[in-house]
Amino acid sequence: MSDLRTFTPREIVSELDRYIVGQREAKRAVAIALRNRWRRQQVPEELREEIAPKNIIMIGPTGVGKTEIARRLAKLAQAPFIKVEASKFTEVGYVGRDVESIIRDLTELAVAMVSQEEQKTVAAKAEELAEERILDALLPTPVAGPEGRVEHDRSETREKLRKLLRLGELDEREIDAELADDGGGPSLSIMTPQGVEEMGVQFKDLLGSMMPKRTKRRRMKIRDARAVFANDEALGLVDQDKVRELAVARVEQSGIVFVDEIDKVATGNSSSHGPDVSREGVQRDLLPIVEGSTVQTKQGPVRTDHILFIAAGAFHFSKPSDLIPEMQGRFPIRVELASLTKEDLERILTEPTNSLVRQYTALLATEGVSLDFREDGVRAVADIAAAVNARSADIGARRLHTVMEKLLEELSFDAPDMAATSLTIDEDLVRKRLGDLVEDQDLSQYIL
């Protein structure tokens, strides 16, 4: 886990501001939640276990930044992060994935994350071993031959090849590379009910570990073989037991689960049968992992007591109080995200580090086409996006993607034939290309 002492809540908000426009209340809530994780690690151990994370419900329409806030928070904290949709789960006894698969998937993400970090620590050694494998392929060991002078000459040749290899002068030469063969082994497809799924996965892993390792020979350039060999050697140098242990600890202490569409499983008090029963069942299945329980995974048992859960929903036809009381109690912090105004959309186009204007400018620059977005052009794009949102479904900042795609569709198609071309995106151009579509309400819903 990253050193959270360097991130005060104010600094966390400032970092989130680089990618997300507005929504200050939500940013402050997640910043406090993240800082509290570091604070918890500083208290005496006997008290540490008693401090539970303050889970958050974000309330707001689609496209206003709920998911992005949670995703950026996880990236900032170097924490395992998974997004799930509550509506995709069904209660026990119905066909569908069980909720414990959330924690199993989160753990596998953590294993991949930790494994990459550990591979970086052995990268230098892996490069050395990869180099030796390439030299072995270039200068195979003779089957038989006289000792002495021959061996000296061979050693001298090997060192000459090593120098050429390090200078990159052998990159285009091809060698036969001996690689692990992941395909062609025993295939095990197991359809298992809840509680047996993990047993099926573990049995498959056990069966795989008992089989002899398969290899295959592949002809490739040395430049490509170097990367493949280095990755292969790094995997072999990493202590997988350590990876497993660190991954489980990271999930337990810093994992973040983003539960989207939580409003889709809210029930209200109007009905006690049919779909409402199923929705309540999903909530009751989610409740144990939110409250804190132990989930069996292929990496070992994982406790969910200190995983941070962030739920989100539009709540157009329901409200947080329509969740079962136990679920409400596990999400004590509630923040409302505002719908995006035309001014917000204009800022989103240009201010974030990964703004759409920067993205499209960079993409078309690869074809030698230079885009110059003028202020009035950006304002016109935001105006059109806001107008379409107001007249049809409000999908927030996502509307900017569809508007920009439509605006630049013709240019994107012709770009390979327009090298060294410069195009100014001003209000006149935007209105000319998109104005007619916005005037026709039915057409704007269909196209934008």
Give the whole-angstrom CA distance, residue 17 versus residue 66: 13
- Identify which of 174, 260, 281, 252 has the alpha carbon closest to the alpha carbon of residue 218: 174
Buried b (16+ CB within 10 A) or exposed e, 371-395: bebeeebbbbbbbbbbbbbeeeebb
Q: Which amino acid is at 94?
A: Y
What pLDDT shows up at residue 436? 72
The ranges of the chain with pLDDT < 70 are: 1-6, 90-97, 141-152, 180-213, 268-277, 437-448
CA 30 centroid distance within chain: 18
Q: From residue 379, how far is each of 387, 391, 400, 431 by CA, in Å? A: 12, 18, 12, 11
* Token pair for 259: 């539960």
- Identify which of 97, 12, 16, 33 has the alpha carbon closest to the alpha carbon of residue 256: 33
What pLDDT shows up at residue 143? 53
This prediction has a pTM of: 0.78
Q: Which amino acid is at 226?
A: R
What pLDDT shows up at residue 252? 94
Beta strand residue intervals within 233-279, DSSP E: 256-260
Give the whole-angstrom CA distance, residue 248 versus residue 110: 7
* Bridge partner residues of 178 (DSSP): 217
Beta strand residue intervals within 60-110, DSSP E: 81-85
- Measured on CA atoms in the order 379, 384, 390, 396, is the torsion positive or negative? negative
